[in-house]
Amino acid sequence: MERREGHGAVTSTFSALHPMVASWAQQRLGCPTQPQLAAIPAILSGHTVLLASPTGTGKTLAAFLPQFSRLAERIDRDELYPRPTVLYVSPLRALGYDVEHNARRPLREMGLLERPGGERAERRRGRLRERAIRTGVRTGDTPQVERRLMMARPPHILITTPESLALMLALRTYRRQLRHVECVIVDEIHALAPNKRGAQLALHLESLEENCGGRLQRIGLSATVAPLERVGAFLAGVGRPCEIIDARELRRTTLRIAVPFSGAMAPMAMVSRSVGREIEGVRGALVFCNVRSQAERVAHDLSGEGILGPASLDPDPRGGEDVQRAPAAGLPERRVGVHHSAIERSLRHRVEAGLRSGELHAVVCSSSLELGIDVGFVERVCIVGGARGVAATLQRVGRAGHVPGGIAEGVVVAQDRDDIIEAAATRRLIADGVVEEIAIPDRPLDVLAQWVVGCVVPDRELSIQDALRIARRALPYAALDEADLRDVVAYLAGGGAGGERAHVSRVAFDGTVVRGLGREAASAYYDNAGTIPDTVMVTVVGKDGEAIGRIEEDFAHRLQAGDAFLLSGRSLRVVEARGAIVRVAPHHGKPTVPRWSSHMRGATEPLAHEIGRLRRECVEVLRAGGVRAAACYLRERYGLEGEERSHVVRYIAQQLAVSDVADDRHAVVEIYRVDGAQSAIYHTCIGRRVNETLARAAAARIHAAIGANCGIASDDNGFMVSLPPRAKLADAQWAGLLHARRLREDVMEGLLNSYLLRGQFRHVANTGLLVLRRTGGMRVTRQSWQAERIFERLWRADRRFPLIRETVRHVLHDLLDFPAALRYVAELPQELRVIHPPAASPFSFGIVTSSFADTVVVDDRATLVEALHERILALTGDPEAVS
Amino acid sequence: MSEERHALLDGVAGLTPGVLFLERTRTLVAADLHLGYEEVVGGALPLWSTTEQLGVLARVAHSLRANEVILLGDVLHGARMSAQAARCIRNGLAELAETGCAVVAVAGNHEGRTRGAEVLGETVESVVRDGWHLLHGDRPLARKGRAIIGHLHPSLRLGGSRSAPVFLYSEQLIVLPAMTPYSPGLSVLGAPCSRALSAWVERPGTLRVAAISGDRIIAFRTLAALRAAIGPRRK
């Protein structure tokens, strides 16, 4: 694999393009950007190219200009036929429309775009030739009329999503058109490679390659991601070369830390006020939150407090009008929108448009706006809490100052002292150029099953050897075993499980060749292709039947009468939960059911490691040279100054006074006794995914040892195990709980009774076409299929069933991080240091309060943390102020 | 495996698979089998619940020397299924009849009343045995009288997807638990259950509760007492 650094002859870059394209580029763009400089010649030479550069560096044009040039040359040669030669695949439907818009404008200005009703194809020499270029978008949203039009007059540049590509390849007419594709552009490849959508795309790119006779040029566009070689191999396929253009460091990114609190944690209102100050007077602002309920809360505060004016984009669909204009007496009319994946698509689009047009002053979002949809000019990016990773931080901050060469500045609004440390560590890693390594799912069998069906519907055939050959060229399946493929095919052919056959098959199989079963059976594929779980929303209504908001079906399904939960910052008690409606009454007190907890992102490995290093070195310096030396160290290595630095020094000093500091090398166990119940906090500093894995094993081991069911909670810095009243473990037992022996079995034991495994089985069964999302034109509802119970039955019948194995793999490797957990415990000393702190130690505040896992209203959490902090201050005295 | 038998009322016993035995006429009653479930929900799965439930019924019918088995509605989860699945269910029902007892299918809402006829053969709206009217329970009883119904899937929810099916009973009304292993059931402590029950008895709180926990039947007192002890607390 070659690497090409971003330099070359400036003048010749554009002049290598077709004259019409070149003169447009010289006039409109002037100088090519670095990525364009390197990528355009590479693309023109026909190589497979991965271009990694930050948002706003002219990436998309770098990929498209050579395509325009080639199409223009075809026109000159009189060889432009009505069929797609360029395929553009993007992970977001909305991005597809954006890109079409952005491709049509230059084409129009170059005079190459087909005008409606203008120039028409001319028939010459008996074949259809064309004089102008058409573009088209084919996604799940494309109306039937447009699809038919596209069939009759296929576009030359076809824009689509991985899911629609999969469907098109399974339909004869599209397949015939797609035979002429010469170049496929995969945008935002970093958002696809690490998940099942990427696995699906990798397989279908190979199907496309087969369909095109193996001469496809592939172009991947990526934001900051690492390692590029791995993403390059994902793009190119196993054994094919890929030219990598690394222009990742082009944009300078700075991160500022805002600390609104003076004690230990900021209540939500204080956080919102701080965000408000940060975006005051700014033209366009994006505010990222880590959980959706928090996004709703911040947006509510921002518009409610009058910081930004009186009106807001209300996510509530009542009345159909999303923008509620309150009379703005004397105040500038400025509005705040909310954007997260649980908000309806049409409303989300309106919020995006609102930000683009400047109608909205700020948008508060979850990770939903991390991807590259054009949101117009964003002057300021705020990250509430922290992004829990370097790539995510760069992606978020990169949304600001969306112009080539601009400096991207982001502000982290810290909610507590851990956030300050996280932001400081992130800043250090950005400066060092360290980015998390992308993990590519290893042979997900559910996606494989779906692909096999897609290859033979409705009545084609595919030999098992061909399937193996094609699949193994896709990077996620490079190591695919023939036995695994055969297991999958045997299941699809009605082989059943545990010795009992199923009566429904998706394919036929005679031991060598897989065959389609005709139109009717094929509808299972056409109706269900894709790997994204449907998020179905359930309406929450009050006593009088008024709609209060909506929650995910998955969450609604777990609610029972009497449960209390949070919605849009309100505490509600369930009166009745059935079907598509949850009836609630106001609740005064703490919620009892956690919300969104499964969506919480954990710190990535390098970030957790850097946080551990900061803690370790700060402790060393503090012990050797005192507060002043520690302050010096924090300034030099982490650029921490003033108040934010005092917070960190005080935090660590307080922790040392009552306990010990766990870092990237040492774990510490703290034992507490509250109301007669014993609990232990393992401080590990290794990230949420690993901590959650270890917590489940610990719970299973305790159950095996003393028969007690314990509660668990985990965050990035550690995990907590709480015993039921009267149960007790000796210090030595606590100290010896984390060992590598039978770790996998114990984690599995802990998982078997959890919702995590069963809930994930639902998605795996859907993707693997074991149970359909839609059948006979109807959606199979949560009510009508009990994933949990089918999982139990299948688990009893056959643990080796391919989709059971996939569920376990997905949970252990993609959601939790079993391999890292195993590595971690294998390196731990035999016995951990056990401490009995006199009061909850400062490092445990987060986990102690989060052990209610979001059940505590954030404001209550802040109150609780401050109360815990007061106790620590009483015990230790305030270490002298540092600056 | 033998089934635990628990006398609910004089001449009426509940058994652990969630079935009822009317002693005078030796009638076995089972509600809400939802046969074919795995396939009707769109699954390419074996019809475990069909073979297992019908096997259990045959065994219980044999050991009790039952004269008759009454399937109290929602015998099928739906009428859309493959020809092979339909054959599998028909064969299973035929095998049940071969144990020497008559098999009567009462119509339920899941069969779409009549659409299931292809698989089930003829169904009836209700029958009378031992002085009780036996019907599915999705529609009210036309005449006055004592009724045995299914349909509601009464259960005690134990958190998550776990639950224990229960019998609700009085001298006027018996509600059978669902026999299908796939339903978490309707919580007997919730308002929807009370509302549904009030169509049948004046004071649902006076119904008694017997829960099936593994191979045991645990009798509680009345629904009202149970609700007071463990139901949702109100402010």
pLDDT score, position A536: 67
Q: Angle between the A464-473 and A196-211 helix axes, to the nearest 10 degrees? A: 120
**Nearest CA distance, B116 vs chain A (angstrom):** 17
Is the predicted pLDDT of residue A697 greater than 90, yes or no?
Answer: yes
pLDDT at A715: 84
b/e code A842-878 from CB counts within 10 Å (16+ = b)? bbbbbbbbbbbbbbbbbebbbebbbebbeebbeebee
Same domain, A243 and A285: no
More confident residue, A555 or A524: A524
Same domain for A54 and A30, yes or no, is yes
- Range of A399-413, A489-503, A799-813, B108-122 with top mean pLDDT: A799-813
- Spatial CB neighbours of A285, under 8 Å, sequence gap ≥ 6: A278, A279, A361, A362, A363, A378, A379, A380, A381, A382
pLDDT in tens, A290-318: 877 788 778 878 876 444 433 333 333 33
pLDDT tens digits, A120-136: 554 444 556 788 999 99
Decide if B213 touches A, using CB distance below 8 A: no
Residues A348 and A299 in one domain: yes
Among the listed residues A423, A387, A425, A385, the one whose alpha carbon sits nearest the alpha carbon of residue A266: A385
Chain A residue with Cα closest to B85: A503
Same domain, A175 and A283: no
- Within a domain: A772: no
Instruction: Tell me what pLDDT residue A252 has.
Output: 76
Least confidently predicted of A378-392, A595-609, A723-737, A837-851 = A595-609
* Higher local confidence (pLDDT), A311 or A62: A62
Of the candidates A219, A249, A279, which is a domain's last residue?
A: A249
Of B43, B46, B85, which has the smallest distance from its Cβ to A500's Cβ?
B46
Q: Is the pLDDT of residue B212 over 80?
A: yes
Among B44, B47, B85, whose Cβ lies nearest the Cβ of A769?
A: B44
Residue A6 has pLDDT above 70, yes or no: no
Q: Classify residue A116: in a domain, yes or no.
A: yes
> Is the Cβ–Cβ distance between A396 and A187 less than 8 Å?
no
The four Cα atoms A869, A874, A879, A881 give a dihedral, to 10 degrees, of 70
- CATH (domain of A283): 3.40.50.300
- Distance from chain centroid for Cα A231: 17
Contacts of A492 in chain B (CB under 8 A): 44
**What is the percentage of chain A residues whose pLDDT exceeds 70?**
85
A207 pLDDT more than 50: yes
pLDDT number for residue B228: 86
| Whole-number pLDDT of residue A573 | 82
pLDDT of residue B15: 95
Option in A561, A573, A755 nearest B160 (CB): A755
Sort out which chain A residues have CB atoms less than 8 A from B45's CB and list them: 496-497, 502, 504, 770-771, 790, 794
Residue A624, domain member (yes or no): no
Q: Which chain B residues are closer than 8 Å to A508 by Cβ? A: none
The highest-confidence range among A341-345, B143-147, B202-206, by mean pLDDT, is B202-206
| Residue contacts between A and B (CB atoms, under 8 Å) | 106
Q: Which residue has the tokens 């009008």?
A: A321
Please tell me the total count of domains within chain A.
3
Residue A322 lies in a domain: yes
CA closest to B188 among chain A residues = A561
Indicate whether A751 pLDDT > 70.
yes
Residues of the domain holding A190? 3-249
Contact A300, A312 (CB under 8 A): yes
**pLDDT in the model for residue A592:** 63
A772 at interface of B, judged by CB pairs closer than 8 A: yes
pLDDT value at residue B47: 92
Give how far A187 is from chain B: nearest CA, Å: 34
- Report the range of poorest mean pLDDT among A253-257, A451-455, A637-641: A253-257
In this structure, the answer to whether residues A147 and A262 fall within a common structural domain is no
Kindly state whether A435 is in contact with chain B, defined as any CB-CB distance less than 8 angstroms.
no
C-alpha to C-alpha distance for B99 and B118, rounded to whole angstroms: 23
* Residue A384, pLDDT above cutoff 60: yes
Q: Do A258 and A240 sit in the same domain of this protein? A: no
Name, in order, each residue with C-beta under 8 angstroms of A873's C-beta and a sequence gap of 6 or more: A654
C-alpha dihedral sign at A414, A416, A421, A425: negative
DSSP H or E stretch at residue A382:
strand A380-384
**Chain A interface mutation, best of B45, B89, B156, B227, highest count of A Cβ atoms under 10 Å:** B45
Domains within chain B, CATH numbers bracketed: 5-230 (3.60.21)
Residues with Cβ within 8 Å of A656's Cβ and at least 6 positions away in sequence, in order, are A619, A622
Residue A507 CA to residue A491 CA, distance in Å, equals: 9
Asked if A187 and A221 touch (Cβ cutoff 8 Å), the reply is: yes
Which residue from B39, B48, B232 is facing A504, i.e. has the nearest CB?
Answer: B39
Chain A residue with Cα closest to B183: A786
Contact A786 B184 (CB under 8 A): yes
Q: Which single residue is written with the structure tokens 């992130």?
A: A426
**Residue A726 CB neighbours (<10 A):** 9
Q: How far apart are CA A786 and CA A807, in angstroms?
A: 16
Partner-chain contact B44 A789, CB within 8 Å: no
Query: Is B51 in a helix, a strand, or coil?
Result: helix
Please indicate whether, in this complex, the C-beta atoms of A771 and B45 are within 8 angstroms of each other: yes
Residue from B47, B80, B161, B234 to probe the interface with A (highest A Cβ count within 10 Å) = B161
Mean pLDDT in residue range A528-555: 76
pLDDT at B160: 58
Task: Indicate which CATH number applies to the domain containing A564.
Answer: 2.40.240
Residue A376 within a domain:
yes
**A188 and A279 in one domain?**
no
Read off φ and ψ for residue A753, nearest 5 degrees. -95, 10
Q: Is residue A444 part of a domain?
A: no
**Are A125 and A217 part of one and the same domain?**
yes
pLDDT at A326 over 50: no
Domain final position from A415, A447, A465: A415
pLDDT > 90? residue A87: yes
Kindly list the strands in the beta sheet with A49-52, ordered across the sheet, starting from the edge strand earlier in the chain: A3-5, A243-246, A49-52, A217-222, A183-186, A86-89, A157-160, A135-138
- Answer whether residue A38 is part of any domain: yes
Q: A92 in helix, strand or coil?
A: coil
Quick one: pLDDT band at residue B25, thresholds 50, 70, 90?
very high
Chain B contacts in chain A segment 565-584 (CB below 8 A)? 573, 575-576, 578
- What's the CA gap between A578 and A569, in Å, rounded? 23
Partners of A509 in the β-ladder: A514
The C-alpha atoms of residue A271 and residue A264 are separated, in whole angstroms, by: 13
Nearest CA to B175 out of B164, B165, B190, B184 is that of: B165
- pLDDT tier, A1 (very low <50, low <70, confident <90, very high otherwise): very low
Residue in A with minimal Cα distance to B88: A503
pLDDT digits (tens, 9 = 90+) for A154-183: 999 999 999 999 999 999 999 999 999 999
Asked whether the beta carbons of residue B45 and residue A790 sit closer than 8 angstroms, the reply is: yes
B191 contacts A576? CB cut-off 8 A: yes
Residue B152: is its pLDDT beyond 90? yes
Residue that is last in its domain, among A566, A599, A632 = A599
Sequence-distant (≥ 6) Cβ neighbours of residue A286 within 8 angstroms: A355, A362, A363, A365, A369, A375, A378, A380, A381, A382, A396, A399, A400
Each residue's pLDDT tens digit, A444-465? 999 999 999 999 999 999 999 9
Q: Does any CB of chain A come closer than 8 Å to the CB of residue B51?
A: yes
Note whether A556 and A541 are same-domain residues: yes
Over residues A864-871, the mean pLDDT reads 84
Summarize pLDDT for A266-275 with one digit per residue, the tens: 888 899 999 9
| % of chain A beyond a pLDDT of 90 | 49
Mean pLDDT computed over A475-495? 96
Q: Provide the token pair at A117.
A: 């009703």
Amino acid at A717: N
In a domain, A305, yes or no: yes
Quote the mean pLDDT of chain A: 84
Are A228 and A264 contained in the same domain? no
Q: Are A879 and A650 in contact (CB under 8 A)?
A: yes
Residues A233 and A290 both lie in one domain: no
Which residue in A558, A572, A790, A792 has the most chain B C-beta atoms within 10 A of its own C-beta, making it the best mutation to test that interface? A790
Q: Which residues of B touch A501 (CB under 8 A)?
A: 46
Q: Rounded to an integer, what distance in angstroms lies between the CA atom of residue A264 and that of residue A262? A: 7
| pLDDT, mean over chain B | 88
Between the ranges A88-92, A262-266, A673-677, A821-825, where is the mean pLDDT highest? A821-825
Q: Verify that A125 and A262 share a domain, yes or no.
A: no
Least confident of A108-122, B117-131, B135-149: A108-122
Per-residue pLDDT, A7: 43
For residue A9, give both structure tokens: 């002859």
